[in-house]
């Protein structure tokens, strides 16, 4: 089993807003939600057991709490103070998961190498129920009440940040909004650069994307972003944007949300069965990025599983996050080498982390 480094999982959102106990089995979580009205209720795909089964020994785990206007589809609060409060509940949750041995924070090179040593044999690590290493990221910056709060977040372990999510943000415009970076957004990007916090370009609209990358000189990645050439939507990246990310040495994480995998998906109406979407469709996006780059060094996995959706909006051949392992056979069948696959599964994003933290 190949180690997987999944670079976008909203674990604390699931725990703190949707009341999912990720220490339970996936069947137990689903059973508890049989009468739930939450989107994706009784159809969740992620817990610690399934992550281990799938060799996902390392992840980027998010904090997410915004106060954008209009509200996004998840994690919407009325004020920055409330949003900050929710992020503090989320970091407290992660710390408790560390205390009981489910997770282990990774915030520097020594932590990273230690976690990789633990998961050098993913099968053995899974059997031993070793803690899952996690890098802390913030999706959408609205909870940063002031720029001093960024310093506070760095102190407790924040190592990556996406300035935008949905809508009109305090620091940046989401992919579905119009406009460039406001003055405080430019200051935020400079602050991230000064602290060495990785800039996650995901969710930035086109104007903010180019402005942010012009200001920010440090390490960039796109944790969960697919290709606009294959699915024509502003949430995806254009070839021009992908090429710029490649020039910056960035890696893009393939996202397994069905409407971003195939064209003509209508949310709330389309189903995995009616569209035929499968895990193989993510290989189309991976291959497109590889063609633009001329190599396989800029692709990874940022599944976003259970990020506001469940099996109703996943590939039809994905029951739990453990099924990400089937991507190995799909890529091998398309001519990707074992080295390329290892890079996509974990090596490419690890390279970016090591460069950022060296």
d(CA 268, CA 329): 31
> Taking the domains of the chain in order of start, what are their residue ranges?
5-357
The predicted structure's pLDDT at residue 72: 72
Quote the pTM value.
0.98
d(CA 4, CA 54): 8
The predicted structure's pLDDT at residue 74: 78
The predicted structure's pLDDT at residue 247: 98
d(CA 319, CA 325): 12
> How is residue 18 annotated by DSSP?
S
The three-class DSSP label of residue 138 is strand
The three-class DSSP label of residue 260 is helix
Element (H, E) at 275: helix 272-275
d(CA 48, CA 36): 21
Phi-psi domain of 262 (left: phi exceeds 0; alpha: psi -120 through 50; beta: other):
beta
CATH superfamily entry for domain 5-357 = Metal-dependent hydrolases (3.20.20.140)
The predicted structure's pLDDT at residue 314: 98
Element (H, E) at 283: helix 280-293
Q: Which two tokens stand for residue 107?
A: 């915030």
Strands 158-162 vs 132-139: parallel, antiparallel or unpaired = parallel
Residue 268 CB neighbours (<10 A): 7
Per-residue pLDDT of the chain (358 residues; tens, 9 = 90+): 999 999 999 999 999 999 999 999 999 999 999 999 999 999 999 999 999 999 999 999 999 999 988 877 777 899 999 999 999 999 999 999 999 999 999 999 999 999 999 999 999 999 999 999 999 999 999 999 999 999 999 999 999 999 999 999 999 999 999 999 999 999 999 999 999 999 999 999 999 999 999 999 999 999 999 999 999 999 999 999 999 999 999 999 999 999 999 999 998 899 999 999 999 999 999 999 999 999 999 999 999 999 999 999 999 999 999 999 999 999 999 999 999 999 999 999 999 999 999 9
The predicted structure's pLDDT at residue 76: 86
Handedness of CA 212, 145, 91, 177 (dihedral sign): negative
Element (H, E) at 199: strand 198-200
The predicted structure's pLDDT at residue 41: 95
The predicted structure's pLDDT at residue 244: 98
Q: Provide the β-strand partners of residue 227.
A: 237
The predicted structure's pLDDT at residue 69: 82
């Amino acid at each position: 089993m190949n180690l997987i480094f999944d670079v976008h999982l909203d674990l604390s959102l699931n725990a703190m807003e949707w009341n999912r106990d990720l220490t339970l089995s996936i069947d137990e979580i689903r059973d508890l939600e049989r009468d739930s009205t939450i989107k994706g209720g009784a159809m969740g795909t992620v817990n610690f057991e399934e992550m281990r089964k799938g060799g996902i020994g390392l992840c980027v785990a998010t904090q997410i709490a915004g106060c954008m206007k209009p509200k996004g589809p998840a994690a919407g609060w009325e004020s920055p103070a409330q949003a900050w409060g929710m992020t503090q509940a989320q970091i407290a949750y992660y710390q408790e998961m560390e205390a009981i041995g489910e997770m282990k924070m990774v915030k520097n090179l020594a932590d990273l190498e230690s976690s990789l040593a633990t998961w050098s044999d993913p099968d053995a690590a899974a059997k031993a129920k070793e803690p899952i290493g996690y890098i802390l990221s913030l999706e959408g910056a609205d909870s940063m009440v002031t720029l001093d709060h960024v310093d506070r977040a760095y102190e407790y372990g924040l190592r990556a940040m996406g300035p935008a999510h949905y809508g009109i943000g305090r620091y940046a415009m989401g992919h579905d909004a119009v406009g460039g970076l406001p003055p405080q957004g430019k200051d935020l990007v400079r602050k991230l650069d000064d602290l060495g916090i990785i800039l996650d370009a995901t969710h930035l609209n086109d104007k903010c994307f180019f402005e942010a990358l012009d200001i920010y000189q440090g390490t960039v990645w796109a944790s969960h972003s697919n290709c606009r050439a294959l699915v024509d939507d502003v949430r995806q990246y254009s070839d021009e944007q992908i090429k710029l990310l490649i020039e910056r040495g960035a890696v893009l994480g393939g996202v397994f949300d069905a409407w971003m995998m195939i064209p003509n998906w209508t949310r709330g109406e389309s189903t995995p069965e009616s569209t035929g979407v499968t895990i193989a469709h993510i290989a189309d996006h991976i291959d497109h990025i590889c063609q633009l780059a001329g190599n396989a060094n800029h692709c990874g996995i940022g599944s976003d599983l259970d990020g506001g959706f469940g099996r109703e909006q996943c590939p039809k051949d994905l029951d739990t996050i453990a099924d990400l392992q089937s991507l190995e056979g799909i890529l091998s069948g398309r001519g990707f080498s074992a080295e390329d696959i290892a890079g996509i599964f974990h090596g490419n994003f690890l390279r970016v982390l090591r460069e950022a933290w060296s």
